[in-house]
């Protein structure tokens, strides 16, 4: 299974009054991981949008917070593609404290493919083959995708 790792350092602006990363920022990190994952497999979001009119719309997202990240800590974000279908993809994420190797959070985002008018469409084969080549579909029970 292909996995992409992205490193980031927690910025002060990402923390709350308690000095820990504000919960919504984990979703921003997931987007960063997703974009870097796509780049690593040879796919740039911008090209898919501009050249083929294909957009990835988030239809579901979740995050399980396990341990707080704090200002100036380095975070390792591991991104995988859990599912690739002609009309949708699902990414998985794990975030770790780089110094302690402690898992901070896990999450996922599910996306459907849309045209610029936000109408669902099938992904062109040239992109689908990239996604299918790195997906780990067999790990997700069908019941979890409803």
Q: Where are the domains of the chain?
A: 3-138
Q: CA 28, 30, 32 angle in degrees (round to 5)?
A: 75
Torsion of the alpha carbons at 37, 25, 119 and 79, rounded to the nearest 10: 20
Q: What is the pLDDT along the chain (146 residues), one digit of tens a residue?
A: 799 999 999 999 999 988 999 999 999 999 999 999 999 999 998 999 999 999 999 999 999 999 999 999 999 999 999 999 999 999 999 999 999 989 999 999 999 999 999 999 999 888 888 898 899 864 444 444 44
Q: Is the entire prediction scored with pTM above 0.85?
A: yes
Domain 3-138 adopts which CATH fold?
Thiol Ester Dehydrase; Chain A (3.10.129)
Q: Which residues form the catalytic set? A: 16
């Amino acid at each position: 299974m292909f996995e992409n790792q992205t490193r980031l350092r927690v910025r002060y602006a990402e923390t709350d009054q308690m000095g820990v990363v504000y919960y919504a920022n984990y979703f921003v990190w997931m987007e960063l991981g997703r974009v870097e994952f796509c780049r690593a497999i040879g796919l740039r979001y911008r090209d898919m949008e501009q050249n083929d009119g294909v957009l990835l719309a988030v239809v579901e997202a979740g995050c399980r917070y396990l341990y707080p990240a704090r200002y100036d800590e380095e975070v390792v974000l591991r991104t995988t593609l859990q599912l690739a279908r002609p009309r949708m993809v699902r990414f998985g994420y794990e975030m770790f404290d780089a110094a302690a190797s402690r898992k901070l959070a896990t999450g996922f985002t599910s996306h459907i493919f849309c045209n610029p008018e936000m109408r669902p469409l099938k992904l062109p084969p040239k992109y689908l083959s990239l996604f299918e080549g790195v997906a780990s579909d067999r790990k997700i029970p069908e019941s979890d995708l409803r």
